[in-house]
Structures are given as structure tokens and as C-alpha cells.
């Protein structure tokens, strides 16, 4: 069982929290595997050291869990063996000037990174084991996260379906007609600014897995997965949402946003689907512009979070707040 797998490093309560947050997309089998890997590697899910990332979680035929860590986590695991040392030379890169463009700013082809491993000592062995090199390779077109953008922007269209949790219509993003599709490195990642560093981490991760398959098999460095993460929620986003959810769980609202509706009133967790109605109900009771200014200053971050989680509803709420502000200002002598 999962609790048994982690009993030496996590309490039952911590395992339950991991199940509900960091690994909430895992099924039981995937969660058992993730817990076993966490125990064996000694990495901490709560410190962004290891993630359980599930691809295509809504498609049983394509569903796959990948365990992800950072390059420092992989190095730490290798270092514990006392058989690893990094290379003294810089990573080696291959370039092609003809490849330069928005989807490859430096014209990178591949990176080579070498590490060193000492063979394990065996009984009856006379000479000391030798250090031998292990080299990892990473090609730009296999790892760089490339996204496509429309020069004329996008619009949202209804799919005819609704979300089961809220009942609101589902929408998908469609490029506006006449727009040119531009391929570029995902600007939300470090790849456009630090292409060599990111590609070198992918190569080093490959070398570490080759050298220590018993410890790092099926574990991937975050940069190796950026190409896939460009189409999904990233581990950092997952962990940030976990932190937010953990805070909300403490006050009874895993899907809520914390607002203070009136001065001296307690903080209140409001479900995302109810935020607009509750705020509108509150500001209608305001009798002065001063009350409105207080509300907006006290709830800057909650309103921003609402915008991030429900942009359509947040836009309509913003318009309503502006309208109400104008009405209250007109009443001010």
C-alpha cells in the first residue's frame, strides 16, 4: 500500500495530502508507483523536488504518468552512490546557422554532456575500480518546446459541451482568419533565453540515467518534458496550484478564492463559480465611493486570482465594478 511505501519518510497525513494535491491526477496504481519512487529516491514532493505528471488523463488509451525531478535532484541521487563525479569540461554544442529563427534562436543542433562513474568494487578484485565516462546527447528538435501563435490572434468558440463541475459551456481557442501561424520557442519557459543551459540539462539527465539506471530509471528532468508541458499544465504550475489548494483546504474551500467583503469581516472562501454573484451582491449594498475603493484595495490579489481562473466571468465582473464605481462617484457631493 502507498502509506506503507512511504512510512519511513512521511506520516500518513502527509501521504494523504500528497494524494489529494501533488498526485491528485494519479489513479491508485500510478500513485503507488509514485510513492515507491519518492521513498527510493528520498526526494520531497512538497519542495518541488519530484512530481507525478499524468498526460492525457481523460483518454484511457493515451494516458501515461511520468515522474519528473530537477537536475539537482538527479545529481543528488547519483552523488549518494559515491560513484559519481561531474565532468570538468563545459558541455559541447553543435550549431547550424541555417536553423536560426524564432523556433531556434541560436541555431542549436545538439548538446553533449559527459559525467564520470566508478565501477562498483567486486569481491576478489585486486585493482581499484577505474572512473569511466558516460555521455548524454540531446537534440534541439526533440526537446525544445515549440508553440504556434497566430499573427491575427485567436477567438473562443463554444464546443456545444459543458463542464461537469460548473455546468458552464466549454470553449476552444481558434485562430482568426487571415492570420499567419508563427512557430516559436515557448516564451513561458527559459528556453528562448537560456537555450544552451536547458539543452545541456536534458543531455546531462540522459547521461545520469545511463550511468545509474537502478536509481533513475523512468525519472526525467523537468527540461526534458518542456516540449510536452507546452501542451499541458507544467509541474511548477501544478505545485503552485497545490500550494493554493493546501491553503484553501485549511479554511474549508479547495475550489474557493479568499475574499474580505466588508471591513472587519472575517476572510471568506468563495467558490469560483459564485465569486461574481457574491461580489455583485456586496457592491450593490455600498453607499459610497470610499467603500468601493476599500473593497478593491483589500481584494487586489483575490480579484487577480479570479481573473486567472475564470477570465470570462472576471471580465464581466470588472465591467460591473466600474459601472457601480461610476454610480457611487456620481452620488458623492
pLDDT tens readout for residues 109-166: 999 999 999 977 666 666 666 899 999 999 999 999 988 877 666 677 777 777 665 5
Rg (CA), the chain: 25
The answer on 203 and 119 residing in a single domain is yes
pLDDT of residue 9: 62
**Neighbouring-strand partners of residue 85:** 116
**13 or 240, which is more confident?**
13
Q: How many separate domains does the chain show? A: 4
Using pLDDT thresholds of 50, 70 and 90, give the confidence band for residue 85. very high
Domain membership of residue 166 (yes or no) is yes
Domain membership of residue 18 (yes or no) is yes
**pLDDT tens-digit readout, 22-39:** 888 888 888 888 888 888
The answer on 320 and 271 residing in a single domain is yes
Domain membership of residue 238 (yes or no) is no
**249 or 230, which is more confident?**
230
Judging by beta carbons within 10 Å of its beta carbon (0-12, 13-18, 19+), is residue 51 exposed, middle or buried? buried
The answer on 319 and 201 residing in a single domain is no
Task: Please state whether beta strands 219-221 and 154-162 pair in parallel, antiparallel, or not at all (unpaired).
Answer: unpaired
The answer to whether residue 285 scores a pLDDT higher than 60 is yes
Mean pLDDT for 87-93 is: 95
Domain membership of residue 246 (yes or no) is no
Q: Kindly report whether the global pTM for this prediction surpasses the value 0.95.
A: no
**Parent domain of 223:** 1-69+218-233
The H or E element containing residue 246 is helix 235-250
The answer on 326 and 207 residing in a single domain is no
Domain membership of residue 239 (yes or no) is no
The answer on 25 and 87 residing in a single domain is no
The answer to whether residue 84 scores a pLDDT higher than 60 is yes
Using pLDDT thresholds of 50, 70 and 90, give the confidence band for residue 75. very high
3-state secondary structure of 40: helix
pLDDT of residue 74: 92
Amino acid at each position: 500500500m502507498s502509506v506503507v511505501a512511504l512510512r519511513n519518510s512521511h506520516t500518513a497525513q502527509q501521504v494523504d495530502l500528497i494524494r489529494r494535491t501533488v498526485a491528485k491526477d494519479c489513479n491508485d496504481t500510478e500513485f503507488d508507483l509514485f510513492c515507491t519512487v519518492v521513498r527510493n529516491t528520498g526526494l520531497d514532493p512538497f519542495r518541488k523536488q519530484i512530481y507525478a505528471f499524468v498526460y492525457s488523463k481523460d483518454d484511457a488509451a493515451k494516458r501515461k504518468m511520468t515522474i519528473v525531478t530537477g537536475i539537482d535532484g538527479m545529481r543528488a541521487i547519483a552523488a549518494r552512490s559515491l560513484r559519481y563525479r561531474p565532468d570538468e569540461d563545459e558541455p559541447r554544442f553543435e550549431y547550424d546557422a541555417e536553423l536560426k529563427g524564432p523556433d531556434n534562436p541560436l541555431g542549436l543542433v545538439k548538446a553533449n554532456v559527459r559525467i564520470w562513474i566508478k565501477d562498483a568494487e567486486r569481491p576478489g578484485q585486486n585493482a581499484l575500480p577505474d572512473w569511466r565516462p558516460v555521455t548524454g546527447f540531446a537534440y534541439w528538435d526533440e526537446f525544445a518546446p515549440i508553440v504556434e501563435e497566430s499573427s491575427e490572434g485567436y477567438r473562443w468558440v463554444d464546443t456545444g459541451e459543458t463542464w461537469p463541475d460548473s455546468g458552464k459551456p466549454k470553449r476552444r481557442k481558434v485562430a482568426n482568419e487571415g492570420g499567419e501561424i508563427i512557430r516559436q520557442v515557448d516564451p513561458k519557459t527559459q528556453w528562448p533565453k537560456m537555450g544552451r543551459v536547458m539543452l545541456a540539462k536534458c543531455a546531462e539527465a540522459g547521461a545520469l540515467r545511463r550511468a545509474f539506471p537502478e536509481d533513475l530509471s523512468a525519472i526525467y528532468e523537468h527540461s526534458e518534458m518542456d516540449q510536452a508541458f507546452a501542451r499541458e499544465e507544467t509541474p511548477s504550475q501544478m505545485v503552485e496550484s497545490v500550494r493554493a489548494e493546501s491553503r484553501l483546504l485549511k479554511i474549508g474551500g479547495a475550489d474557493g478564492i479568499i475574499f474580505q467583503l466588508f471591513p472587519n469581516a472575517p476572510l471568506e472562501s468563495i467558490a469560483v463559480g459564485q465569486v461574481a454573484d457574491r461580489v455583485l451582491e456586496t457592491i450593490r449594498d455600498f453607499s459610497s465611493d470610499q467603500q468601493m475603493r476599500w473593497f478593491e484595495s483589500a481584494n487586489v490579489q483575490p480579484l487577480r486570482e479570479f481573473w486567472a481562473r475564470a477570465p470570462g466571468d472576471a471580465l464581466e465582473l470588472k465591467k460591473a465594478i466600474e459601472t457601480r464605481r461610476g454610480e457611487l462617484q456620481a452620488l458623492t457631493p
